[in-house]
A and B are shown apart, each in its own frame.
Chain A
Amino acid sequence: MDYMSFARPEFAIMLLFVGALITYFAGKFSSVARYVLSLAFSGLAVVLIALMYDKEIGLMWTPSSMPVNISIYIQTNPLSWFFAIILSGLAFLVLMYSIPIMKGKRMENWFYTLSLLLTGSMLGVVFSGDLLSFFIFWEIMTLSSYLLVTLAGKRADKAALNYMIISTAGAYAMLIGMVMMYVRFGTTEFSELAAMLPTASAGFIWVSVGLIAVGFLVKSAALPFYVWAPPAYSEAPDGFTPLFSGGLSKLGPYGLLLFMYGMVGLSSLTSMGTFRGVSGFGYAVALLGTITSAIATLYAISQDDIKKLLAYSSISQIGYILMGIGIGSSLGVAGAMYHVLNHALFKTVLFMGAGVLIYTTGTRKMSQMGGLATKMPLTFLTMLISIFSLAAIPITGGFGSKWLLYEAAIQKQFVLIVPLAFVASVGAFLYSFRLLQSVFLGELPERLEDAKDPSPLVLTPMLIMASITVLFAIVPGIPLSVIASIESYIGIEPISVDSWYSLFVGESFGAYDAMMVMNVMLLAMMVGFGLFVFGGKERKVDQHDTFLSGEVYEHHENLELHFAGSFYRPIERLFEPYLRKRLEMIYDAFGTGYEYISEGIRRLYTGDVQDYVYYVVGFLGMLIIIAGWWW
């Protein structure tokens, strides 16, 4: 039998669902079987999806016993393939990294089962071709990720519950939007809806797509809904956070791309009203994304918890993706999708690194680490490359996507969005340097004397992703040519990729010659290293052999000082009055108000039968009065 015939989307999903079940039972007996099986299933899924490249295959199944005539469509197209390969690849690498990190942790067997289930459902979301299966897979995904967060133990319960409640609210909004579409058009299939939606009125599109978009904005942790993300990302098990932030959060942007451009279409979006050449709907998404990005950055700067810092950074970076999607020009969407890929690569490495650091040092507080660069050189190097990519330094892939996003925003003359995005990006230098400074640089505490790099199982995925990040800095054209084909699939003018090495906008609007930048860097490096070697020889000194203006270094037993402890105090002090009014307060006030009303309602249930009889009689009397009024 031809092996290519297995390369079908439904097989990939089934493989992971069945794999989750098999891994669970096999894992009961042997932990080695659990590791091997989970790696095998997720690896096989990557291979299957890779074989699906540039194909459009699908499956339609009409259940015979359904009361309504609804069919299930599972299909692959360029857009789904792009997200599927990222998600499945990440899942495989994260599972590999989890083997040493999660060893002996609470409910280890469930971790692998749920991870495979989650991966399967994420693939289900991107491969589904109709509203019903999309929603079902979406809910399996939310549920399994909720369970994965709770695996961390009691401390994570509140965070997980927050995540679940806000996700559920988003899912209800999404469901209402989908039902509206089904009632109006009588079909759930994406391709039929794509033909019919543009004929609907602008109001209908605003409401239905807007409601569905709420669900996606919740998952991508955009502004009014982001409150779940920092606690959930930071409390989740260390083996799950990389996939949570690197992979799962990308489904929000996927959904927006699918519904905004794949189904409604750019032309009917712009016909609903435009702002400086960008659809009003898109502008709202872009502005929301940029504001999210700026605010999350300010919060990230003042974090001491490594996972919380990365969580806020994650929210901020996804804000950039939303900005690109909202702008909706060929540059903007290309930048957004390229940033999806870049963010998946660098944020996964960073969260993996955070997991390694927590594993090594036993704490999440960055102010209790320090000086680890020389003890854990490979962890340092991979995280440094990822931080460069996060900060969009031109020797890493992260720059290409930020460049596209900025060009897109400047081309549209967005004078509000561009400065906000730039400030968020400079803020990224600040918080990423805080991470470097307090974890890898500075003084090495005595208790971390024998810290060392983790096992190859952890380092291999990190090194793979870091090297892809560097590779993309040299040849941004390779991912962008795939993205160009997706853009033409979803009806956006594809970005022109003339060469693998350089990007140009317009006649003379902007240019980013990646090859030239790399060549110049190499030349400069030769000069720099040459100068360095030209100088005299070195003498290594102890870390405490420093200039302290005559003060003598003393180690205080009861005093733990860390000079990156409250690193950015001067600007925290400036922003504090503004940041103190947190969005969480509104939600808390809502919760308190809800409890208060519920308490009032509870008082009606006195437990006295006579009272209930009064209620019934009163209600009947009211009915009679109302009925009498009408007739």
Chain B
Amino acid sequence: MNMNEILTIAFMMLFVPVLGLFFMGLERKITARIHNRIGPPVYQQFVDVMKLFSKRENISHSWVFDIGPIFAVVGVLATMLFIPMGGFPMLSFHGDLIVIMYLMVISGLGMALGAGASGNPNAGIGVMRSLVLMMAYELPFVLTLLSVMLYYNTTSLGEIVAKQGETGWGILALPLSALVADLCLQGQFGEKPFDQPVAPHEVATGPMVEYGGKHLGMLFLWHAIAVVMEGSLFVSLFLGGAIFFDPSTITGMVLNLLLWIVLVFMMFFIAILINGVMLRFRIGQAFAFYWKWPTVLAIIALAYVMVVSAW
């Protein structure tokens, strides 16, 4: 690792949470506009996080309860560093897509652990729903990933980005896979109709129900990083990692970074728009949905890749 890489990583570790909180603020604003409300200011999330971290007293049930938010942040930070971001490959040549997929789970399992330790039934229901939802979208998502991996004949995300630089963006070559990946992204973001784990009106924000103070502040950060990370995964897979300008010059680097921010937000924006007008599925319906249409589409996409690569 050279100095540049270390600087990039340090920069991204500071920048991504800020960007994510900004996105979350925009989400509240946009949703409010869809609902014909004024909505909170865009910086509301920053105020909230600062308020939560400055609480003088924090409620805790046990040490396992404390581990939850810590692991959520740790897992999502560790995963983030293996995904190409802002036109930089980050550490994506040190761990491929399979490493990323399993690193992504750490934060979820960690939070589930903490939420379960609280002994609140709502938290248990929320955790169950989030695990079931994960199993639901994982099948079409894996089929999609497989089509991308077979098309570019590599499992390394950095390599996939590099190959898109040569042959054009993946969304043009594999439109159907991109569509399925975006459907899965809705579930990964946890936006309606797939917000069953949180479902404020049913299970009182599910896993988060017992958390307050600095614990909740950390969960805010977790969500902020996760939004950017999941968006960036899609951008790396199908939108060429947002590398459009020549990355060897300083202006090109800055322009790429700006383009990346726009593209990641665009992915989030699509999810917000759907979220703004949809109702919530029951968890069983969500499962049946994912294992039906997205899976069929993903299989067609995979068959297409098999035919293309056989030629």
Chain A residues near B (Cβ < 8 Å): 371, 373-374, 380, 384, 388, 391-395, 399, 402-403, 406-407, 410, 413, 415, 418-419, 422-423, 426-427, 429-430, 433, 436-437, 440-444, 502, 505, 508-513, 516-517, 520-521, 523-525, 527-529, 531-532, 534-541, 543-544, 546-549, 563-564, 567-568, 570-571, 573-574
Contact = CB atoms under 8 A, between A and B. Distances in A.
A570 B105 contact: no
A391 B131 CA distance: 13
A419 B146 contact: yes
Given A535-B214, A536-B214, A511 B95 contact: yes
A536 B56 contact: yes
Contacts of A391: 105, 109
Contact of A410 (B13, B113, B121, B146): B146
A499 to B, nearest CB: 12
Given A509-B156, A520-B82, A442 B124 contact: yes
B142 interface: yes
Q: When A and B form their complex, which 6 residue pairs have the shortest distance between CB atoms, in order from nearest?
A: A535-B214, A441-B116, A513-B94, A524-B77, A510-B155, A528-B74
Q: Which of B64, B81, B102, B159 has the most CB of A within 10 A?
A: B102
A547 B131 contact: no
B284 interface: yes
A209 to B, nearest CB: 31
A571 B60 contact: no
A419 B142 contact: yes
Interface string B37-73: 0000000000000000111111111111010011101
A536 B54 contact: yes
A400 to B, nearest CB: 10
B94 A541 contact: no
Interface in B1-37: 13
Contacts of A534: 53, 214
A538 B94 contact: no
Contact of A393 (B94, B95, B102, B122): B102
B306 A415 contact: yes
B262 interface: no
Contacts of B139: 419, 422-423
Given A517-B103, A527-B77, A564-B124, A423 B138 contact: yes
11 contacts: A406-B98, A423-B135, A523-B77, A528-B73, A536-B57, A538-B59, A546-B119, A548-B120, A567-B128, A570-B282, A574-B284
A436 B71 CA distance: 16
B99 interface: yes
Given A429-B109, A571-B132, A521 B61 contact: no
Contacts of B69: 532
B73 A531 contact: yes
A4 to B, nearest CB: 43
A537 B58 contact: yes
A537 B213 CA distance: 10
Contacts of B121: 548, 563
B62 A429 contact: no
Nearest to A567: B128
B98 A374 contact: no
Contact of A527 (B58, B61, B74, B119): B74
B239 interface: no
A512 B96 contact: yes
Interface string B207-240: 0011001100110010000000000000000000
A441 B113 contact: yes
B122 to A, nearest CB: 8
A531 B306 contact: no
B204 A549 contact: yes
B134 interface: yes
Contacts of A394: 95, 99, 102-103, 106
Given A516-B94, A521-B74, A574-B284, A538 B138 contact: no
Contacts of B56: 536-537
Contacts of A505: 155
Given A374-B63, A422-B138, A532 B156 contact: no
Contact of B74 (A510, A511, A524, A538): A524
Contacts of A537: 56-58
B95 A539 contact: no
A291 to B, nearest CB: 15
Contacts of A433: 109, 112, 127, 131
B264 interface: no
A570 B142 CA distance: 22
A536 B284 contact: no
Given A419-B143, A544-B119, A508 B102 contact: no
Given A373-B117, A403-B99, A509-B153, 19 more contacts: A373-B64, A394-B106, A410-B150, A415-B150, A415-B302, A422-B139, A427-B135, A433-B131, A442-B116, A509-B156, A513-B91, A513-B95, A516-B91, A520-B81, A524-B75, A532-B214, A547-B210, A548-B120, A571-B287
A592 B112 CA distance: 46
Interface residues of B, number: 81
Nearest to B72: A528
Contacts of B138: 422-423, 426
B121 to A, nearest CB: 4
B95 A543 contact: no
A541 B118 CA distance: 10
Nearest to A517: B95
A574 B70 contact: no
A346 to B, nearest CB: 15
Contact of B146 (A418, A510, A543): A418
B150 A374 contact: no
Contacts of B174: none
B70 A441 contact: no
Contacts of B258: none
Given A430-B135, A511-B95, A536-B55, A418 B142 contact: yes
Contacts of B91: 513, 516, 520
B198 interface: no
Contacts of B129: 570
Interface in B147-177: 149-150, 153-156, 159
A525 B74 contact: yes
Q: Which of A391, A510, A525 has the most CB of B within 10 A?
A: A510
Contacts of A388: 109
Interface string B69-91: 11101110110011000000001
A567 to B, nearest CB: 6
A437 B130 CA distance: 14
A546 B116 CA distance: 12
B6 to A, nearest CB: 11
A410 B155 contact: yes
B125 interface: yes
A539 B287 contact: no
A520 B70 contact: no
B293 interface: no
B288 interface: yes
A370 B71 CA distance: 22
Nearest to A373: B64
A420 B77 CA distance: 29
A374 B58 contact: no
A331 B266 CA distance: 39
B116 A413 contact: no
Contact of B60 (A415, A443, A508, A541): A541
A529 B77 CA distance: 12
Contacts of B13: 527
B213 A536 contact: yes
B272 interface: no
A541 B77 CA distance: 30
A442 B94 CA distance: 38
B98 A527 contact: no
Contacts of A437: 112, 116, 124, 127
A540 B60 contact: yes
B135 A426 contact: yes
A512 B75 CA distance: 17
